[in-house]
Copies of this chain bind each other. A is one copy, B any other.
């Protein structure tokens, strides 16, 4: 069985959102007992991963990314297109748009302190589509 759900997320500039409950709800609605869900970010300035979703790390992770792809640097992307989100694209490519999580007994196999996080790296508020592709039986 294959079930597709598209969730729409409003995210502020640089916001990291815990989407675990939304993903788990879609999995529960799907009636799949076992399988996997691929969480896929449509667009090239956002990414998905897992994190212990707490206020400290919501500063620490952006802090590390600020070293890797600083927001105030000159990017060729910005020069070419007259925009300001070169660093957003770089971060998105390095982290990647997809995550696959197993489903066992109707539940995501996440740890207690492990949440699914959508990261909007863009320089403005965005509404983003995230495709959940659930496969299993």
Partner of A100, one of B4, B38, B54, B110: B38
Do the beta carbons of A80 and B64 come within 8 Å of each other?
no
Do the beta carbons of B113 and A44 come within 8 Å of each other?
yes
- Does A84 count as interface, using CB distance less than 8 angstroms? no
Chain B nearest CB from A19 CB (Å) reads 14
Do the beta carbons of A97 and B60 come within 8 Å of each other?
no
Number of copies: 3
A117 — which chain B residues lie within 8 A by C-beta? 93
**Which bucket holds chain A's interface residue count?**
35 or more
Cα A97 to Cα B135 in complex, Å, equals: 19
Stretch among A7-15, A23-31, A69-77 lining the B interface: A69-77
A61 — which chain B residues lie within 8 A by C-beta? 89-90, 93-94
Do the beta carbons of A96 and B36 come within 8 Å of each other?
no
Beyond the given A43-B114, A94-B94, could you list 10 further A-B residue pairs with CB under 8 A, ordered by the A residue number?
A4-B104, A49-B96, A52-B77, A55-B76, A61-B89, A61-B90, A65-B94, A68-B68, A98-B100, A135-B135
Q: Which residues of A contact B (CB under 8 A)?
A: 2, 4, 34-36, 38, 40, 42-44, 49-52, 54-57, 59-61, 63-65, 67-69, 75-81, 86, 89-90, 92-104, 109-111, 113-114, 117, 131, 133, 135-137
